[in-house]
């Protein structure tokens, strides 16, 4: 039977004595999350392709080049008639 925590093949008779290898457990958990990780990548790509995402990329690059990335953003000026 596979261990539900790490996926290792464990004999039923030795199930109570089994101790999961931490590295194997992490690999097993990542394997179980592979579809979610893939979806996250697709969602990020979709966002970055949107108008808001393109603006965020431009703004981040603008801030990085101006050396102001660590400073808080300036307040936008008040719009006339608002």
Residue-wise over 19-41: b if at least 16 C-beta within 10 A, else e? ebeeeeeeebeeeeeeeeeeeee
Task: Find out whether 12 and 1 touch, Cβ atoms under 8 Å.
Answer: yes
Is the pLDDT assigned to residue 74 strictly greater than 70?
no
Q: Is the pLDDT of residue 5 over 80?
A: yes
Q: Residue 11: its pLDDT value, please?
A: 84
- Answer yes or no: is pLDDT of 9 > 90: no
The pLDDT score that the predictor gives to residue 10 is 87
Q: What is the spatial distance between Cα 59 and Cα 82, in angstroms, rounded to a whole number?
A: 25
The tens digit of pLDDT for each residue in 32-69 reads 999 999 999 999 999 999 999 999 999 999 988 887 65
Compare 53 and 71 and report the one with higher pLDDT: 53
């Amino acid at each position: 039977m596979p261990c539900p925590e790490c996926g290792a093949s464990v004999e039923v008779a030795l199930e109570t004595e089994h101790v999961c290898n931490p590295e194997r457990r992490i690999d097993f958990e990542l394997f179980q999350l592979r579809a979610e990780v893939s979806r996250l990548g697709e969602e990020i790509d979709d966002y970055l392709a949107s108008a808001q995402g393109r603006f965020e990329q431009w703004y981040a690059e603008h801030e990085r080049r101006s050396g102001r990335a660590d400073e808080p953003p300036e307040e936008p000026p008040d719009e006339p008639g608002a």
